[in-house]
A and B are shown apart, each in its own frame.
Chain A
Amino acid sequence: MDYIPNIIFAIILFAGIGFFAKNIKKLARNIKLGKAADTSDNKSQRWNNMFRIALGQTKMVVRPIPGILHIIVYLGFIIINIEVLEIIIDGLFGTHRIFAFLGGFYSFLIGSFEILALLVIVAVVIFWIRRNLIKVRRFLNPEMKGWPKKDGNLILYIELILMILFLTMNAADYQLQQMNVAHYTKAGAFPVSQFIAPMFQEMSVSSVIGIERSAWWLHIVGILMFLNYLYYSKHLHILLAFPNTYFGKLRPKGQFDNLEAVTKEVKLMMDPTADPFAAPDGNATVPEKFGASDVMDLKWVQLLNAYTCTECGRCTSECPANQTGKKLSPRKIMMDTRDRLEEVGKNIDANKGEFVADGKQLLGDYITHEELWACTSCNACVEACPVSIDPLSIIMDMRQYLVMEQSAAPSDLNNMMGNIENNGAPWPFNQMDRLNWSKES
């Protein structure tokens, strides 16, 4: 019955990956609820952005302390996960340290994993201190209460535990190698865990094997759990940061989309030959809704943005409205969009694939008018985001809905727009007086 652990391992592995795949499918479906966006342009620029911003972490280091700490966690985590490959092979085939034949190179690999693991532990502890003891301001805004705060800490605990398990596993292995226990081939270098190994010196071989096996199992099960936790967490960014930076806005930040549906109507209105009473052409569909009041009205890139958000709050801490005590927080805009999208997704799951109106929407139930009208469209949030998220585009789309569908602009703005309509200027001056300045001394 030697192969029972292999079977159990295979079941856990495939269940873990299977569940994850299911969540990814749901994720993709939810993102596709958004409207079309053309992102087929400038492929090389897009790849370039992904390499620089996500892989290269260039915008993280704008704030050097969290930036460098993050690079440690990021690199550490990716590189240490090469070890997971070996773990999976060992687990499936009952081998032990299958790559040991690489000899000196193997020792180098394991040695560097250990050092990285130690660095990750240090970085994660500092991250925790920043969140819980130093209380860095951007982690304390109202939208961070409850789950987001817990999520932030939970991730740090999980990473800490995984690293400790990894080192414990190596330490026990190293001890067993020293004891010349069969199956535990002498392989690898253990620059960190050799200092943990002495703790096991007094123990019997079977207890040390017990520790080694437990750590090994917990480590891989932990990784699978972590993988499945992503979907429910801001930690989804470790995957989505890559596509999100690829699909990020390329045009100048000041350039907002021109609504095509409006262009059509404006052309019609300006065209003196158009017959206003002509029957709409055959393929005219239901009049499009202008702007966005719910997640389905947003483009899919904006929904991808919402799932990618790391909730770091760099956007909010640069936001002039937020800095001066207004309710607007660009991070909250992203978190609200994600929460509402999840709610819509659950609704679809519960109703056999159809969305059934639930009397709620993003506008009003999540994001208030007050928040939307506080934005100066300054792009500070867009500039600050290390993963190329554009909270401003969502704010603008919702303003369009408020103004064009509901005529719900603040009265001052209605006056301003009335003036533009009547006199071609936001103030009540006569267009015929436009050149008067040239005659005044």
Chain B
Amino acid sequence: MENELRVPTMAELFAAGQQPEVLFWVGCAGSFDDRAKKITKAFVKILNKANVSFAVLGTEESCTGDPAKRAGNEFLFQMQAVTNIEVLNAYAVKKVVTACPHCFNTIKNEYPGLGGNYEVVHHTQFLKQLLDEGRISMEGGKFKGKRITFHDPCYLGRANNVYEAPRDLIRKLDAELVEMKNCKKRGLCCGAGGAQMFKEPEKGSKDINIERTEQALDIKPEIIAAGCPFCNTMLTDGVKNKEKEATVAVMDIAELIASAEDL
């Protein structure tokens, strides 16, 4: 039986005079995209299980402005940023966790210059910390020996030098971590960044997500692990395009852990 998710909002906690340990920034994909919502829920299940004191902004959250900024619309970006910062500062938020590397990068690096200073972590870093503190166990061995490869999101890896947290978590699942031809610093983009997610690609010989999916399939994984809702979509499409969806799953790290814990 699935337990109901406990998802407190900042407004509720504030009204009750409480301050959560961490704000979970859900992001637009995590809020609206059907595939990404599953990642959001998996992450919340883990937070609930580990009794993490957290809250979301809910309807007070708005796009960080990342796609606008990468598309060149600095106005719209800064409007979004300033609005969000006002809300975050009003709730005196200290720490932010998010499952989207784009939100992560923007809030961590680009908000401070506009008055938003928070400790920002990606959910893989947060989960790694929960693990280190013994707040989640990750037993079960459901993924024991499974071939799993990790696709580095550009905005987590190269952009912010986070390579090990997601890999440590995969290893902890007793899975066999296999690396693609391009990984870590030289990871190949899924094709979604820089606002490409929202437009048709320029003319070329191939779509970027197909190229990346081919690199992944080359090493014959059972699971392609991702840490970004956009990468997830791109790679899922790639796997479908190659008609491999029956044998190769694309899963977020949070989904792997939630599944390992039978949540």
| A interface residue numbers (CB < 8 A to B) | 251-256, 258-259, 262-263, 265-267, 269-270, 290-291, 318, 320-321, 323-328, 370, 373-380, 382-384, 396, 398-404, 409-410, 412-413, 415-417, 420-421, 424-427, 429, 431-438, 440-441
Contact = CB atoms under 8 A, between A and B. Distances in A.
Given A325-B204, A374-B202, A380-B188, A258 B113 contact: yes
B70 A252 contact: no
Nearest to B158: A379
A425 B29 CA distance: 9
B198 A431 contact: no
A437 B37 contact: yes
B260 interface: no
B interface bracket (residues with beta carbon within 8 Å of A): 35 or more
B62 to A, nearest CB: 3
Contacts of B59: 431-432, 434-435
Contacts of B65: 420
A269 B191 contact: no
B75 interface: yes
Contacts, number: 222
Contacts of A441: 2
A328 B185 contact: no
B202 A252 contact: no
Interface stretch (B138-146, B171-179, B205-213): B205-213
Nearest to A410: B199
Interface string B41-59: 1001000000000001011
Contacts of A321: 202, 204, 208
A437 B27 CA distance: 12
B80 A320 contact: no
25 contacts: A252-B159, A255-B110, A255-B159, A256-B70, A256-B110, A258-B78, A262-B78, A270-B79, A290-B74, A291-B74, A324-B201, A324-B204, A324-B206, A324-B207, A377-B70, A404-B74, A412-B198, A413-B71, A417-B73, A420-B67, A432-B59, A435-B31, A435-B59, A437-B30, A437-B31
B71 A326 contact: no
B228 interface: no
Contacts of A377: 70, 154, 193-195
B58 A373 contact: no
B125 interface: no
B82 interface: yes
Contact of A254 (B58, B63, B114, B159): B159
B150 interface: no
A436 B75 CA distance: 29
Given A254-B155, A376-B194, A437-B41, 15 more contacts: A256-B70, A263-B114, A269-B79, A323-B208, A374-B201, A376-B193, A377-B193, A383-B186, A401-B72, A412-B198, A413-B195, A413-B198, A434-B26, A437-B30, A438-B56
B160 interface: yes
Contact of A326 (B32, B82, B160, B204): B204
Contacts of B9: 435
Given A427-B28, A434-B26, A435-B7, A320 B188 contact: yes
B249 interface: no
Contact of B160 (A252, A380, A412): A252
Nearest to A251: B109
B235 interface: no
Given A265-B75, A420-B68, A434-B58, A383 B158 contact: yes
B5 interface: yes
B124 to A, nearest CB: 16
Contacts of A409: 71-73
A224 B5 CA distance: 75
Contact of B79 (A266, A401, A425, A427): A266
Contacts of B41: 437-438
Contacts of B114: 258, 263
Contact of A270 (B82, B108, B110, B113): B82
A404 B73 contact: yes
Nearest to B204: A325
Given A266-B75, A420-B63, A320 B68 contact: no
Contact of B31 (A267, A410, A434): A434
B203 A399 contact: no
A131 B100 CA distance: 42
A412 B199 contact: yes
Contacts of B183: none
Given A376-B194, A410-B199, A413-B71, A420 B76 contact: yes
